[in-house]
Amino acid sequence: MIESAQNEGTSRKEREFQRREQDILMAAVALFSEDSWENVTVAQIATRAEIGKGTVYKHFASKEDIYARLSLDFHYQLMSIYQEISLELNSLDFMKEAIYQSFKFYSSNQICGKLSEFCKRKDFKSRISESLSKEYEMLDQKFEEFFGVILQKGIEEGVIDDRPIMHLMIGMEATFEGAISMMTNDSYTDFSELNEDTFVDVVTGFMVSALAKR
């Protein structure tokens, strides 16, 4: 009975720790919607989460680690979206759906989307904790393996151009990040009052065409 009570207490403590960590992350996102994340301080995050500043540091070693955690969680959610796409689609149609869903997810989560783009910078990753840095590496590998399989399958199906997988990925990422930058800055609206839905359709179509077998 004593052992059972101890286990229950530990579990309760862990749940409380996780809940407080989510409160910190939610407070950070709320503040980021009001001001640039570079200007937000740990003290402000603590105040918004209604906890002490020292408590924040029990969860995150630095403000950069908070950024990284939000960015990583954002990409885990994105991977979950990809995993829900039917594998019965041919690879080109799969990629089209994945690209489209990526744009829509970024659009509906603009704060974390912008933050995630910022967190990709090498100088940023050099400032975060080692555990988070390794988590980034593992997640990057997971994305590369996931899409590597889809692209290789598409080449074998004869619907995706037979080029080195890494070259295909680089081209896709560069185009996608450029489009995300245009969405972030609303610069796509300079083109004949283009709305976001049309912009997403245009870029998605272009990226799929770039993948298609010649």
Q: How confident is the model over 111-127, as pLDDT tens digits?
A: 888 888 888 888 888 89
Instruction: Indicate if 119 and 191 belong to the same structural domain.
Output: yes
The average pLDDT across 194-204 equals: 91
Is the pLDDT assigned to residue 2 strictly greater than 60? no
Residue ending a domain, among 59, 77, 105, is 59
Domain of 24: which CATH number? Answer: 1.10.10.60
* Residue of 194 and 107 predicted with greater confidence: 107
Q: Which amino acid is at 59?
A: H
Instruction: Indicate if 43 and 76 belong to the same structural domain.
Output: no
Residue ending a domain, among 9, 25, 59, is 59
Instruction: Indicate if 86 and 19 belong to the same structural domain.
Output: no
pLDDT tens string 151-197: 999 999 999 999 999 999 999 999 999 998 888 877 877 776 788 89
Instruction: Indicate if 48 and 108 belong to the same structural domain.
Output: no
Task: Report the interhelical angle of 63-83 vs 110-119 (nearest 10°).
Answer: 110
- Quote the pLDDT of residue 5: 44
Compute the Cα dihedral for 60, 63, 68, 71 and give only its sign. Answer: positive
Mapping DSSP onto H, E and C, the string for the chain reads CHHHHHHHHHHHHHHHHHHHHHHHHHHHHHHHCCCCCCCCCHHHHHHHHCCCHHHHHHHCCCHHHHHHHHHHHHHHHHHHHHHCCCCCCCHHHHHHHHHHHHHHHHHHCHHHHHHHHHHCCHHHHCCCCHHHHHHHHHHHHHHHHHHHHHHHHHHHHCCECCCCHHHHHHHHHHHHHHHHHHHHHCHHHHCCCCCHHHHHHHHHHHHHHHHECC
**Contact between residue 166 and residue 143 where contact means Cβ atoms under 8 Å apart:** no
Instruction: Indicate if 151 and 188 belong to the same structural domain.
Output: yes
Instruction: Indicate if 93 and 24 belong to the same structural domain.
Output: no
Instruction: Indicate if 18 and 84 belong to the same structural domain.
Output: no
Instruction: Indicate if 30 and 74 belong to the same structural domain.
Output: no
Instruction: Indicate if 97 and 195 belong to the same structural domain.
Output: yes
Residue 3 binned pLDDT confidence (cut-offs 50, 70, 90): very low
**Contact between residue 26 and residue 51 where contact means Cβ atoms under 8 Å apart:** no
Instruction: Indicate if 3 and 86 belong to the same structural domain.
Output: no
- Quote the pLDDT of residue 188: 79
* Domain count within the chain: 2
The average pLDDT across 193-206 equals: 90
Instruction: Indicate if 156 and 206 belong to the same structural domain.
Output: yes
Instruction: Indicate if 90 and 195 belong to the same structural domain.
Output: yes
- Quote the pLDDT of residue 9: 52
pLDDT tens string 48-98: 999 999 999 999 999 999 999 999 999 999 999 999 999 899 999 999 999
Domain that holds residue 155: 62-211
- Quote the pLDDT of residue 10: 62
Chain-centroid distance of CA 39 in Å reads 22
Q: pTM of the predicted model, to two decimals?
A: 0.86
- Quote the pLDDT of residue 115: 86
Domain of 165: which CATH number? Answer: 1.10.357.10
Interatomic CA distance for residues 156 and 153, integer angstroms: 5
- Quote the pLDDT of residue 181: 86
The average pLDDT across 33-48 equals: 87
Residue ending a domain, among 59, 79, 97, is 59
Is the pLDDT assigned to residue 14 strictly greater than 70? yes
- Quote the pLDDT of residue 4: 41
